Amino acid sequence: MKTKELLTLALLTVLSVNSIAQEREKRFGFEFSTGASWSTSQPGDVQLNPGFGLEGIFHYRFMPHTGVYAGWGWNRFGADNSFAGSDVCFEETGYVFGLQFKHPFGTMPLSYYLRAGGLFNHIELENSDGNIIGDTGHGLGFQLAAGIDYTLGNNWSITPGFKFNYLSRDLDLEGLTTSLNHNYLSIRIGFLKRF
């Protein structure tokens, strides 16, 4: 009888220590990333120059390695010549949301992550004076991303990675409709704070 009681007590102790350790792992996080982008398509038959962007997303981990994310992003590409004139900027802004899988490499403070999600973005065209000359309106697209999460301590991580965005929208400009298939690859460096 005492052996059964001791085993039950030991099992309860192990389970409570395990649940305390899991509670110490933060479930929420905010990540800010920025970096260069390269177009993989020619929206409206326009050759885009390399661009730049940033993104801020909130994370929520609902399982040990799986979570959701949502946030806002902005990317800007210049074009020397386009159907809208010379020296025009293509800016894609909007919202991102999706699922994330993150798994550690053994006991190192290093994990890899994979993301798949949607976009609800629009594309604005700006002339050289910074005035908006066209807007596609928001629509759905998708995003794929992968990278690493290196823990720095005090619930901070650095998160370098790659992402691919796909968005197809129609632009009505001066009575002419142009299809903009805006696809690009980005190299990002980010910082994540867990709380």
pLDDT in tens, 115-138: 999 999 999 999 989 899 999 999
The reported pTM is 0.82
DSSP 3-state of 6: helix
> In the prediction, which pLDDT does 7 show?
54
CA distance 182 to 195: 35
pLDDT tier at 2 (50, 70, 90 boundaries)? Answer: low
Q: Which residue has the tokens 């120059």?
A: 49
Instruction: Give CATH for domain 27-194.
Output: 2.40.160.20
> In the prediction, which pLDDT does 92 show?
96
How do the domains of the chain map onto residue ranges? 27-194
> In the prediction, which pLDDT does 12 show?
55
Instruction: Give the chain's mean pLDDT.
Output: 90
pLDDT at 13 over 60: no
